[in-house]
């Protein structure tokens, strides 16, 4: 760790990492209102984990709803026109 | 699920460029370096969402046709989730680790994860007490990074910078997935329960 070469390399990594952490923070709705200097990396990582879990849970719930709706509407032939409306917003 | 990949259409590079410019402006940092190493998919663009939505519907139709009478209901819900994730991974065009990991995993992905956890617990009992204590002394950042690595597909053993890059992309992709599927449920008439016909 004391060699000059590794010092330079770790410096580069640190800047790179800080940059990446800030980019990540920008995505987190609960954290990106504050100035980045006040939020610790640890807190950002923690918030990232809960944000991902929340999103994954949402996808799961949406999947259940999609299947319920598809079954109740008997939608193996999904309405082409509504679909086109959705997709060509 | 090989049929999913045959659905992939060549997507024009124009939307990709304008999307990544949009991303740069939003983030505001001079991220010139890392943009080259991990080209950003413009998850926020409408085109990406449309692409994803159409592929998703196509894939869901096939699932429904295949599992009409034989598959039980709860399993079908899980199938939808898997299809949604796989189509998401396909939309990522193989540029990220998490998307490649999803596509490479067998269909019963969840079963694998549960087994992995069980194995870990058994191994703990065999470890020496010193090693166990050392694990508790890990700094908070490293502990949380490990948890994060388990949440993002295929990122258990990647470097910290890579993990951050993958996570950033993964979150944007997930948010797009939520938007697209929400729009789909609204299309199917799931806005309010009173909307059901017949």
ipTM for this prediction: 0.76
| Burial call A26-62: b when 16+ CB within 10 Å, e when fewer | bbbeebbeeeeeebebebbbbbbbebbeebbebbeeb
pTM metric for this prediction: 0.68
Instruction: Name which of A70, A75, A85 to mutate to probe chain B: the one with the most chain B Cβ atoms within 10 A of its Cβ.
Output: A70
Question: Which pLDDT value is given to residue B189?
Answer: 76
**pLDDT at B36 (0 to 100):** 44
Is B110 or B128 the better-scoring residue by pLDDT? B128
CATH of domain A2-88: 4.10.280
CB < 8 Å & 24+ apart, contacts of A47-50: A48/A24, A48/B148, A48/B167, A48/B171, A49/B144, A49/B147, A49/B148, A49/B151
Residues of chain A in contact with residue B148, where contact means CB-CB under 8 angstroms, are: 45, 48-49, 52
- Mention every residue, 6+ apart, whose C-beta is less than 8 A from residue B181: A59, A62, A63, A66, B56, B84
Question: What local confidence, expressed as pLDDT, does residue B80 receive?
Answer: 87
Q: Is the pLDDT of residue B23 over 50?
A: no
pLDDT computed for residue B6 by the predictor: 41
Could you tell me the two tokens for A80?
Answer: 């082409």
Nearest CA in chain A to B189: A69
pLDDT at B38 over 80: no
Q: What is the pLDDT of residue B153?
A: 94
- Return the DSSP state at B39: P
What integer pLDDT is reported at residue B26 of this predicted model? Answer: 44
Tokens 């490649």 label which residue? Answer: B100
| Ordered alpha helix ranges (H), A1-89 | 4-27, 41-72, 80-87
Contact A23 B84 (CB under 8 A): no
Question: What's the pLDDT at A58?
Answer: 95
- Contact assignment for B171 to A48 by CB distance below 8 Å: yes
* Chain mean pLDDT for chain B: 71
Q: Identify which of A51, A59, A87 has the shortest CB distance to residue B171.
A: A51
- Whether B148 and A48 lie within 8 Å, measured CB to CB: yes
């Amino acid at each position: 760790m004391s060699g000059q070469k590794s010092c330079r390399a770790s410096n580069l990594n640190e800047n790179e990492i800080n940059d990446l952490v800030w980019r990540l923070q920008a995505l987190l709705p609960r954290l990106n209102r504050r100035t980045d200097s006040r939020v610790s990396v640890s807190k950002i990582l923690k918030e990232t984990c809960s944000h991902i879990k929340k999103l994954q849970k949402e996808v799961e719930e949406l999947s259940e709803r999609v299947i319920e709706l598809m079954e109740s509407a008997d939608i193996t032939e999904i309405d082409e026109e509504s679909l086109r409306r959705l997709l060509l917003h | 699920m090989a049929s999913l990949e045959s659905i992939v259409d060549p997507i024009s590079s124009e939307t990709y460029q304008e999307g990544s410019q949009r991303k740069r402006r939003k983030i505001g940092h001079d991220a010139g370096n890392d943009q080259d190493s991990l080209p950003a998919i413009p998850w926020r663009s409408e085109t990406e969402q449309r692409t994803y939505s159409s592929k998703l519907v196509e894939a869901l139709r096939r699932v429904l046709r295949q599992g009409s009478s034989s598959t039980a209901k709860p399993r079908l819900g899980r199938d939808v989730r898997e299809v949604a994730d796989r189509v998401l991974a396909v939309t990522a065009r193989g540029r990220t680790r998490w998307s490649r990991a999803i596509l490479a995993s067998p269909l019963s992905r969840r079963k694998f994860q549960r087994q992995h956890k069980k194995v870990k617990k058994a191994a703990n009992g065999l470890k020496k007490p010193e090693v166990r204590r050392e694990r508790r002394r890990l700094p908070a950042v490293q502990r949380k990074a490990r948890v994060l690595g388990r949440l993002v597909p295929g990122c258990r053993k990647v470097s910290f910078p890579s993990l951050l890059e993958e996570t950033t992309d993964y979150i944007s992709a997930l948010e797009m997935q939520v938007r697209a599927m929400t729009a789909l449920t609204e299309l199917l008439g799931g806005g309010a329960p009173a909307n059901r016909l017949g």
